[in-house]
């Protein structure tokens, strides 16, 4: 499948050097651990795969860095909404695991969701430009 070429679990969220805060910054150590765990949960990639398929679906198309950035941004946006939604709905579990807010607390869940939103917008912005975010609102 085309998705496996570029968006396998390792490739999709294995870009920790650009997605996650610097590992030498102790302030962000807890955030890094939480994000690594979230990225490792099953079921990631469907939205990005649909984006790639709708763009043509060939391996040549899927290998385009801009499309990869959009697919990743879409996945991060979805993950951010799940983190915040679980908190707002007080859902204690997500796919059989404790929700972020339940495991690490409400304040942490808000910050993790916000970080994911900001990172998703940054990924999308790199491809579509700053005006693209006005359409999201």
Mean pLDDT of the chain: 78
User: If you compute the radius of gyration of the chain from its CA atoms, what whole number of angstroms results?
Assistant: 15
DSSP-based three-state secondary structure for 110: helix
The confidence score (pLDDT) of residue 58 equals 64
Question: What percentage of residues in the chain have a pLDDT greater than 90?
Answer: 29
Of 85 and 133, the one with more pLDDT: 85
Residue 16: pLDDT above 60? no
Of 82, 80, 79, 61, residue with least CA distance to 7: 61
Give this prediction's pTM. 0.78
pLDDT at 41 over 70: yes
Domain boundaries, the chain: 29-42+65-136
For residue 97, the surrounding DSSP H or E stretch is: strand 97-98
Higher pLDDT, 33 or 115: 115
């Amino acid at each position: 499948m085309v998705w496996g070429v570029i968006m396998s679990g390792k490739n999709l969220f294995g870009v920790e050097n650009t997605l996650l805060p610097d590992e030498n910054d102790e302030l962000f150590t807890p955030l890094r651990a939480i994000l690594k765990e979230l990225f490792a949960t099953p079921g990631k990639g469907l939205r990005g795969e649909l984006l790639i398929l709708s763009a043509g679906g060939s391996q040549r198309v899927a290998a385009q860095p801009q499309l990869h950035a959009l697919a990743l941004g879409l996945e991060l946006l979805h993950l951010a909404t799940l983190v915040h939604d679980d908190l707002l709905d007080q859902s204690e579990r997500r796919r059989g695991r404790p929700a972020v807010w339940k495991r690490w607390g409400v304040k942490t869940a808000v910050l993790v969701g916000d970080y994911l939103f900001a990172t998703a917008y940054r990924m999308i912005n790199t491809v579509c430009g700053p005006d693209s975010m006005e359409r999201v609102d």
